[in-house]
Amino acid sequence: MSDTGHHRKAYLRKIENEPPQRTKPRHCLKCQAPFTSAWAGERVCPKCKSSGAWRDGIAANMASWSRW
């Protein structure tokens, strides 16, 4: 095994090498309200995610979003 492969495996095993969880203020893609995003891919606020349309998968149809 190459030295690089050894270091990669060691990195993947060690919890202390995980990047810190970074929260960031973002604007919801549905309602534009500011909210604190827990990770880079979280772009819809909890209020919009709790809507019936979101839970039922209807929100994937952009025509159903009030913003558009």
Would 5 be classed as within a structural domain?
Answer: no
**Burial of 18 (C-beta count, 10 Å sphere; 0-12/13-18/19+):** exposed
Q: What is the span of the domain harbouring residue 65? A: 24-68
User: What digits encode the pLDDT tens for the residues 11-29?
Assistant: 566 566 666 667 899 999 9
Any domain includes 53: yes
68 pLDDT band, cuts 50/70/90, is very low
* Threshold 0.85, pTM exceeds: no
With cut-offs at 50, 70 and 90, classify the pLDDT of residue 8: low
Q: How many domains does the chain have?
A: 1
Domain membership flag for residue 16: no
Please give the angle made by the CA atoms of 9, 12 and 15, to the nearest 5 degrees: 135
36's enclosing H/E stretch is strand 34-37
